[in-house]
Chain A
Amino acid sequence: MSSELEPDAALMIRVKQGDWEAFAALVDKYKQPVMNLACRMVHDPTEAEDLAQNVFLQVFKSADRYAVSSKFSTWLFTIARNLCLNEIRRRSRHPADSLDAARADHEDQPLHQYEDGKTSAPPDRLLHSELEQKIEEALAALPENQRLAVALCRQEDLSYEDIARVLGCSLSATKSLIHRGRETLKQKLKPYLRTGVWREPQ
Chain B
Amino acid sequence: MNQQSVYHQLLERSWRRPLTPPEQAELRAWLEAHPECRAGWETEAALNQALRRLPEPPVSSNFTARVLQAARREAAAAAGRGRQSPARWLALLRERWSPVRWLPATALAAVLVAAGLFSYHRFNFNKHQAMAQSLAAVAEITSLPSPAILKDFDAILALDNAPPADEELLALFQ
Contact = CB atoms under 8 A, between A and B. Distances in A.
A60 B71 contact: yes
Interface residues of A, number: 49
Contact of A198 (B44, B53, B56): B53
A32 interface: yes
B52 interface: yes
Contacts, number: 103
A61 B81 CA distance: 14
Interface residues of B, number: 33
A154 B50 contact: no
Nearest to B42: A199
Given A35-B56, A114-B57, A131 B63 contact: no
Chain B contact surface mostly: helix
A190 interface: yes
Contacts of B43: 186, 190, 193
Contacts of A31: 59, 63-64, 67
Chain A contact surface mostly: helix
A45 B57 contact: yes
21 contacts: A20-B71, A28-B64, A31-B67, A36-B56, A45-B57, A49-B59, A61-B74, A114-B58, A116-B55, A117-B55, A128-B53, A132-B54, A132-B55, A135-B50, A153-B16, A154-B51, A182-B44, A186-B44, A189-B50, A192-B50, A194-B46
